[in-house]
Amino acid sequence: MTNDITTHGEHPVALREATNIAALLVKHQDRISEFTDFMNEVNRRRYDTKEDQIQVLTKALEIFNAFVDTELPTIRNNLELGLTAPTNRVDWASMVALLVGCFPNTNKEDRTIFMQQLALFLEDFQPVSGQLGLAFRRLVRNCKFLPVIAEVREALIDANEFMVGIQNRLMGNPEISGDAGIYNFRHTTQYLLEDATGETERRREEERIERERQTQKKADEEKSKAAAKVRNDAEENYQATQRWAEDTIPHIQSNPKHSPEKKAELIEKVNIELEKARKTLESYA
């Protein structure tokens, strides 16, 4: 659609590449809409039998994978060009001249000031290639009269929104949590297929068993930690009791106020406490 654009001055048509990208992006948009409509229809359809559902969903996954492997790289490459490829003064001058030339009957007044101001606006705006091509395409197709600069600006902004919209449809809107773009279709189709084949139910059962195993494992770990703590406490208590006994018995033996019988009685009590601590420790061995 752009090969019939003539040259401007000494330069070949500077808009050719931009308008080619624009035409491809419009074509890609139509293809994406066709593809998403197909995937939506497959995923929302009511099937007469499980066999029909499995067959259609399996085929849909094959089509999805083929789209991702063959068409998506080209679309993303062209979109990347449209969103990032810079334009220059030759592009802006060509757009101004061609845009004015596309509306020869608007008026016969001198358009020099308009053309100069539009060129300055484009230099200030610095549109990328996709913006320039899409805006030019929109203006010459939709305007009945030579557009004013405000309309050119609006067309450039809409062009960028158009490209970002394609990008979001493909890869997901970053402002929407969990949006995976077209890959949402794969997830949905795969889920429906697994549900139809019983794989979902098997996975749920496996997940239930795994949850129970993890719960039991956690309980065992908590029980083991608790037992280790109790044993550690018993160990510390025995050692403390042992140190107490080692300190207390000599004091009892050297105390002149106690009779031998009293000393023996007190030492026996100390040994009883030490033996209780020892048996408690052994019970946790």
Assess whether pLDDT exceeds 70 at residue 13: no
**Residue-number span of the structural domain to which 89 is assigned:** 16-197
Residue 7 is assigned to a structural domain of this protein: no
Residues 80 and 165 in one domain: yes
HEC string for 24-87:
HHHHHHHHHHHHHHHHHHHHHCCCCCHHHHHHHHHHHHHHHHHHHHHHHHHHHHHHHHHHHCEC
Tens of pLDDT, residues 186-216: 999 999 998 888 876 677 778 888 898 998 9
Residues 231 and 162 in one domain: no
pLDDT-based confidence at residue 131 (cuts at 50, 70, 90): very high
* pTM, two decimal places: 0.65
Residue 103 or residue 110, greater confidence: 103
pLDDT-based confidence at residue 101 (cuts at 50, 70, 90): confident
| 46/30 Cα distance (integer angstroms) | 26
Residue 218 is assigned to a structural domain of this protein: no
Residues 158 and 26 in one domain: yes
Positive or negative, the Cα torsion across 7, 11, 15, 21? positive
Residue 39 is assigned to a structural domain of this protein: yes
Residue 191 is assigned to a structural domain of this protein: yes
| 101/98 Cα distance (integer angstroms) | 5
Mean pLDDT across the stretch 148-169? 96
DSSP state of 148: P
Assess whether pLDDT exceeds 50 at residue 3: no
Residues 134 and 257 in one domain: no
Residues 191 and 236 in one domain: no
Written as one letter, the residue type at 271 is N
Residues 115 and 30 in one domain: yes
Cβ atoms within 10 Å, residue 187: 10
Residues 68 and 109 in one domain: yes
Tens of pLDDT, residues 50-90: 899 999 999 999 999 999 999 999 999 999 999 999 988 88
| Integer CA distances (angstroms), 84 to 77, 126, 128, 170, 249, in order | 11, 11, 6, 17, 89
Residue 262 is assigned to a structural domain of this protein: yes
